[in-house]
């Protein structure tokens, strides 16, 4: 299981890119192999690495299909092999540490 942050940006389309992001998100909504979460700067994906790469490629193609002629993609992947960790577990771990440190104040 891996977790990836992906940002797919059309270039040369003006200031607003939300319509292109929406096209990429439609790809995620149409599949059931990758868990995903949209935020303001990246979309976080969770699944098997091969599935992540396949979905990311389909997201890129959706942005091209929406009218982009050039697309920049940034991928940051955490592929952990010692144990399975989910997006929710990673966030919960940080929140638990924050809660412990705030009790010491």
Q: What is the dihedral of CA 72, 46, 54, 60, to 10 degrees?
A: -30
Encode the chain in three state secondary structure: CEEEEEEEEECCCCCCCHHHHHHHHHHHHCCCCCEEEECCCCEEEEECHHHHHHHHHHHHHHHHHCCCCCEEEEEEEEECCCCCCCHHHHHHHHHHHHHHHHHCC
Which one of 2.40.37.10, 3.30.70.930, 3.40.190.80, 3.30.420.40 gives the CATH number of domain 2-103? 3.30.70.930
Supply the Cα-derived Rg of the chain in whole angstroms: 16
pLDDT, tens digit only, all 105 positions of the chain: 999 999 999 999 999 999 999 999 999 999 999 999 999 999 999 999 999 999 999 999 999 999 999 999 999 999 999 999 899 999 999 999 999 888 765
Domain residue ranges of the chain, discontinuous segments joined by +: 2-103
Does the pTM surpass 0.75? The reply is yes
pLDDT per position as a tens digit, 58-77: 999 999 999 999 999 999 99
């Amino acid at each position: 299981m891996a977790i990836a942050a992906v940002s797919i940006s059309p270039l040369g389309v003006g200031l607003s890119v939300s319509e292109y992001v929406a096209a990429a998100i439609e790809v995620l909504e149409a599949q059931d192999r990758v868990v995903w979460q949209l935020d303001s700067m990246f979309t976080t994906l969770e699944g098997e690495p091969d599935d992540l790469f396949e979905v990311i490629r389909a997201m890129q193609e959706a942005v091209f299909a929406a009218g982009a002629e050039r697309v920049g993609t940034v991928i940051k992947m955490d592929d952990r092999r010692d144990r399975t960790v989910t997006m929710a577990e990673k966030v919960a771990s940080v929140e638990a540490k924050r809660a412990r440190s705030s009790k010491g104040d």
